Each structure stands twice: as structure tokens, then as C-alpha cells.
Amino acid sequence: MKSVPTLDQLRRYAICRTLFKPTTLMRAIGRLGFVQMDPIRAPARAQDLTLRHRVRDYRAGDLEARYPRLALEEDFFVNYGILPRATQALLHPRVARREWSAPRWAEAEAVLDFVRERGVAHPREVDAAFAHGRTRNWFGGNSRASTELLDGMHYRGLLRVARRESGVRTYAAQDAHRRESPGPDETDDILDGLVDLIVAKYAPLPAAGLGRLVSMITGSATPQWRERRNDVLRRARSRLPQASVDGTLWFWPEGEHPAARRFSGDAVLDDDLRLLAPFDPLVWDRERFERFWAWGYRFEAYTPAAKRVRGYYALPMLWRGQVIGWANVATACGRLQVQTGFVAGRAPRDAAFRPALDEECSRMSAFLGL
């Protein structure tokens, strides 16, 4: 019987398995399984900030530029993001929880014919052709109705994102990648596989985190199977390796163990300092983050400026196996501007810290093309 891991071993395991040796873009996304996307650029978009640690010679915007030539798809999984085409196909045919009216479906069919005829369509072309007007979006602001219609068609698998133009999604018909609805047994296998994929990305997961992810998979990624949530979670809790550590039940992928020698070396204690994206796999589960590093990280981009504690887009600072603080990074006149903060209230006194921070700033500058 393998030993029960310590919290320190769980933390080292989380770092070692996600900060793997940089590889190609496609292999990195395949290993991550899914990369969350976000439109805020401060100093770069979240997907670029996540990939720069895991892809050789990665530069901001590489994903967007290379996407049309790769077997990747933008879609909604546990969040909106990018994932391998073979995985994305498993989420469909997706049935949205809110059914469209007959007039709305008629609009969708007309737009689909328009997109098929053009091959690839920009939202402004659809709006110009159909003049759908404006509506209220999810965030309470005003959006063109055609944009929301395109979003809904994309979510339902009628359209796919063909490419982006200045960050704006352009669409093509999804016909070539659509599949038939799976049978009950195949559905169980698909859902278990999706859970395994996301556990592999965020391992080790506390029990609450596993429950949240299963709810997100069955609630938003595959709402057509939301009634299976409890069965999916029950199977995951029974088949995944697990251990109770400091009163919390933790889960990780089959065939691995946090106390294994390959996860307990000194690689995470080197002098490389890394500024992580707010949605990086090491940061995403806020409960796990707080258990690992004994302080709470909060994403404050949508917090009123006067109430922010760490900044608009604070990047957690990982050094020698610990997240010791954060940095807010911006550019001005072609130069990098970095403001740091530390959990201890001051920077480490270790002589190796300042060179490590300078090296990370140099890598960030190259990544941004400064």
C-alpha cells in the first residue's frame, strides 16, 4: 500500500506535473487538455500567459495566429477556451438548457445558410445582412442581437470558430464535425473521460473542487446530460486514486501518486521565478491555492478600483515551490512596467531573488515582443 502523501508532497506534485518541460503548442494543449481563454489583455490574454510557460519560444498571439491550421476548437467546457478537436466533439450534439422559440430557430437557419454560402462570416457581415438590432447580454450591457445569435449557434454546435480577426471570432458551419447522439453506455464513458481530462489538468483536487468541476461539465459543457451529474460524481469518487490529508479528501489521476519520486525532486525549488496567469492550472482552484500557500488569491479585474487589494490583474508569483506574492505588469512606451507585492510584506532577502525576478521580466518582455 502506498503511503498517504503530505500536503507538501501534494503541493510539489501539483507544480511538477503542470509546469512540464516546454514543448510544441499542440502537444502543450493536448497535455493540458483545455486552456481557458479571457479577453482581458494585461499585459497579455490569459491563454497566452498560460501557454508561455509550457510552449517553447512562445510569443503573445501565437495561439490566435496558428489556430486555423491546427486541430483545435474554441468552445465552452468548464469555462470558455481552447481544446483539441477530438475532445470538443465529445461535447456535442449539445442541447442548451433554454430552448429557442420557432422564430429564433428560423433566424438561426437563415444565418446558417448565409454562413455556409460565404464559407467564413464576420459578425458585422451577419448584422449587415439581417439587421437583428440590439439586445441585453449576460453582463448587463448592450450587444448586437446577431452576435448573441452567433454565440448561441456556436454553443449548440451549429457553428465553429474559424479564426479571429483582431480578437473577434469569425464563424464557419460546423457540418463537417457534427456527430450523432451517443447511447447511454457511451455517454457514461464520455463523461468519465471528460472528468479524467479535467482531473489530470487540475490534480490534485480537493473533494469540493472535484464536485464543482463535475457540476460544470454536466451543467454547462454538456447540459444534455445534467441529470447524470450525481452518477458521474459517484463513479469519480469511487474509481479515482485518493487520500485524506489534513482532513481533506484529495483526488488525482489513475497511475500517479503525489509521493512518487518523480514528483518529489528538487525541480520546483530551482531559481526560476514564474508569474502565473489568474486562470493558470496552479491558480484556478482558489480553495486549493489557499490550502497550498496559506493566503487567498482573488481576481480583481471586476472589483471597483477603490476596493482592490492586489491590483487589476495581479499575477501570482511562484518561486522555489512557493507563491510568495504577485505582480501587476503593464507596458508603456515599449517598456515593461512591473509592480510587485509580497505576502510577507517585503521581498525575500535571498540574494538569488532579484536576479530571478529580472530574468522573468526579460522573458516577459520577449514574450510580449518589446
Q: Which of 121-135, 226-240, 310-324 has the lowest mean pLDDT?
A: 121-135
Question: Domains, the chain, ranges and CATH?
Answer: 102-177 (1.10.10.10), 266-368 (no CATH)
- Residue-wise pLDDT for 180-198, tens only, equals 778 878 999 999 999 999 9
Identify whether the C-beta of residue 155 lies closer than 8 Å to the C-beta of residue 94.
yes
Q: How far apart are CA 278 and CA 317, in angstroms?
A: 11
- Residue-wise pLDDT for 194-225, tens only, equals 999 999 999 999 999 999 999 999 999 999 99
Instruction: Give residue 239's pLDDT.
Output: 96
Q: How far apart are CA 32 and CA 197, in angstroms?
A: 8
Residue 60 banded pLDDT, cuts 50, 70, 90: very high
Average pLDDT over residues 362-369: 96
Q: Which of 24-33, 124-133, 299-308, 315-324 has the lowest mean pLDDT?
A: 124-133
* Chain position carrying cell 445534467: 226
Torsion, CA 318, CA 320, CA 323, CA 326, rounded to 10: -50
β partners of residue 335: 332
How buried is residue 141: exposed, middle or buried, by Cβ count under 10 Å (0-12/13-18/19+)? exposed
- Residue-wise pLDDT for 115-155, tens only, equals 999 999 999 899 888 876 666 654 455 557 678 889 999 99
Instruction: From 267, 200, 216, select the one nearest 32 (Cα to Cα).
Output: 200
Is residue 22 predicted with pLDDT exceeding 60?
yes
- Residue-wise pLDDT for 258-273, tens only, equals 988 777 655 555 779 9
Identify whether the C-beta of residue 132 lies closer than 8 Å to the C-beta of residue 107.
yes
At residue 317, the 3 state secondary structure works out as strand
Q: How far apart are CA 317 and CA 272, in angstroms?
A: 11
- Residue-wise pLDDT for 155-187, tens only, equals 999 999 999 998 899 999 987 555 677 887 899
Q: Is the pTM of this model over 0.85?
A: yes
Instruction: Give residue 147's pLDDT.
Output: 81
Instruction: Give residue 190's pLDDT.
Output: 95
Instruction: Give residue 138's pLDDT.
Output: 47
β partners of residue 327: 315, 340
In percent, the amount of the chain with pLDDT more than 70 equals 93
* CA diameter of the chain: 68
Residue 249, C-alpha cell as written in the block: 479528501
Q: How far apart are CA 370 and CA 357, in angstroms?
A: 17
At residue 180, the 3 state secondary structure works out as coil
Kindly write down the DSSP assignment for every residue of 47-69, as one continuous string: HHHHHTTTBTT--TTHHHHHGGG
Residue 275, C-alpha cell as written in the block: 508569474
- What is the torsional sign of CA 11, 323, 41, 136? positive
Please count the other Cβ atoms lying within 10 Å of the Cβ belonging to residue 307.
7
Instruction: From 326, 311, 332, 333, select the one nearest 360 (Cα to Cα).
Output: 326
- What is the torsional sign of CA 128, 134, 135, 141? positive
Identify whether the C-beta of residue 324 lies closer than 8 Å to the C-beta of residue 276.
no
Residue 271, C-alpha cell as written in the block: 531559481
Residue 356, C-alpha cell as written in the block: 530571478
Angle (CA) 255-245-271 rounded to 5° is 75
State how far the alpha carbon of 370 is from the alpha carbons of 65, 280, 328, 336, in Å. Answer: 18, 23, 17, 8
Instruction: Give residue 139's pLDDT.
Output: 45
On average, the pLDDT of the chain sits at 91
